[in-house]
Amino acid sequence: MESGWIVAISSISTIVATGLFSIWSKRIDAKQKVNEHKLTIRSAYVNKKIEAGQKLVGENNVRILNRHYIKMYLTALKDYKRDYEHLLSNHKLTEAKLIEISIDTNSFAALYYDIENLYLESDLLLNRLNELMPLVEPGGNYCQNEGYDANVDKAIKCVDELLATYHTMNKTIRDDLAKYDIL
């Protein structure tokens, strides 16, 4: 009879141990699936963040080049003392070169990077530059005003500030992206 109890206790112990092991194993599997899901979401997030950063830096580089052209144009306006025929023939800059490249509304960089204040600053500077451009156009009514050179200087200063803002935005993004450099 004693051996019957030993067999029964042994069988029950084996069943309980197998059940506990099964529960523990399923819990580990569930936890691993959750961790894999989190890793997949994190990878997608990082990839989108890198893509948005690269896109914005590329757009800003185009904007920087455009602003350098505008600055050259404005500096030439001052240097040639309103001789806009000579200016346009030498630099071949037309209004098309001065058309603003607007900030892409499909840019998601603001979701991933702390650059909202830089966006706002660039918008304000851009609006100011757009206000100043008609005042410095060669051949316009404003060319003969005494404040013409001062307006050109203000426009150049505005372009310099805009360039600095774009460079700061690019640096912020590049610094943030540096932590994903795994090579």
pLDDT value, residue 96: 42
Per-residue tokens: 28: 């580990």
> pTM score, two decimals?
0.64
CA distances from 40 to 37, 135, 180 (A): 5, 54, 16
pLDDT value, residue 100: 47
Domain spans in the chain, listed from the N-terminal domain onward: 41-99+113-183
Per-residue pLDDT reduced to its tens digit, 42-89: 888 888 888 888 888 888 888 888 787 778 777 777 766 555 565 555
pLDDT value, residue 81: 59
Q: Tell me how far apart the 2 most distant CA atoms of the chain are, in Å.
A: 121
pLDDT value, residue 59: 83
List alpha helices for 80-147, DSSP H. Answer: 84-91, 95-98, 109-112, 116-136
Q: Is 105 helix (H, G, I), strand (E, B) or coil?
A: coil
pLDDT value, residue 167: 92
Which residues of the chain carry a pLDDT beneath 50? 92-103, 183
Per-residue tokens: 43: 């990878």
